[in-house]
Structure 1
């Protein structure tokens, strides 16, 4: 029995999660104890958001009806425990490898990602690279910009995309530092960190005029 909590649309997503073949409007209406028209309205909104999709016709001997199923985006909309698992994984890696080796591994991961993105930065001067990096960080959710209050070029990110994890595993910042350093081809110094209770993460670009 599916425990139905949350909004009607969340309840529909939970019901569809429990079946691979999908459910019809009548079945959803019966489970939710609301009208077919109300279910249709909710499904229209969910389809618009690409969370559900029409599936195969459901023939039960009477009038065929269309089933609805979750899209991959709809499945991802439901709660996941990625941070919890990542915390366990990082803790195990730190115990197994040691702090220094974990930092080296995270640095390599940042470098490897940067190298895969290198074509987007090839042939650009430092200012153009900074702009491309900010665009990349924006797409990843960092809410990054150049810090106008600093005399030396400094990138300020006001959203740490793994804030809770970084509070428990500050080694994660090695990934950011490696990514930024490699993409800009300049050494950087992290002067502030949200995981250490600062208001933003700040990365000063060293030797910017060189």
Structure 2
């Protein structure tokens, strides 16, 4: 007797047809993590009005697909006794679902620029890109004079696809970018992040400090905006970050 192996049919995206009815919910889970950053099962369940069991089922599938990965929370964000709940973050593959369709092409283009024009050409490109962001920031502040500078910057970044928000912290404010449309490029060419950080400093009129970046494996890009005025020269580190109450900037 011939044994016929049943192979699940898949749609054009590679998802098994038996799982298609779950796909919209999984996309909501992924989008929620993109917009809000690393999230626990309980947080996702509350945010999406789902049961924790349902969320765990979707998380397990997304991890199997390579879209998400589980991480231990940063020590500075854990409270109380007991084992802290894991947080779920987007992988590089997960971020590819969004705005990075042309990222590989951009990497190739900047590699060519580096080969033909050298490091100065790459820096010039990064600074020109940052200047475009500054012009957009000027437009936002003109359109919304009621916004504080940090809130206007967060809105500007969100309109450019960075899913940004401002949070209050004890030493001032923290700018969080939950998404980076150019993370592949910035991973290879940190000049993009450096020029962006310098532009933040100019737009806000104060010293800012980069704490973490998606391009270097962190779940979110974070920039500290101290209350005390200081040098406008940006400083970049990769230390942990602390999040607090989020201001509405979207």
1:137 to 141, 153, 157: 157
How many residues were matched structurally?
136
1:6 to 3, 12, 20: 12
For 1:92-142, what per-residue CA distance to the aligned partner results, in whole angstroms no more than 9, with x for missing partners?
Answer: 1122232344224312331243135424325958x6111111122222221
Partner of residue 89, structure 1: 109
Computed over aligned residues only, the root mean square deviation of the Cα atoms, in angstroms, reads 3.4
**Divergent runs of 4+, >6 A:** none
d(CA) in 2 for partners of 1:138, 1:92: 29
Q: Rate the CA distance shift 1:142–1:150 in 2: closer, same or farther, 3 A.
A: farther
Contact 2:173 2:225 in 1 (8 A): yes
Which of these two proteins has the greater Rg computed from alpha carbons?
1
For 1:147-172, what per-residue CA distance to the aligned partner results, in whole angstroms no more than 9, with x for missing partners?
Answer: 34552322111211212222222222
2:182 maps to 1:176: no
Contact 2:172 2:227 in 1 (8 A): no
Give me the TM-score of the superposition, normalised by structure 1: 0.52
d(CA) in 2 for partners of 1:115, 1:81: 25
Stretches of structure 2 that go unaligned for 5 or more consecutive residues are 1-10, 14-99, 231-250
Give me the TM-score of the superposition, normalised by structure 2: 0.45
Q: Rate the CA distance shift 1:104–1:191 in 2: closer, same or farther, 3 A.
A: farther
Q: Which structure carries more helix by proportion?
A: 1
Q: Rate the CA distance shift 1:208–1:109 in 2: closer, same or farther, 3 A.
A: farther
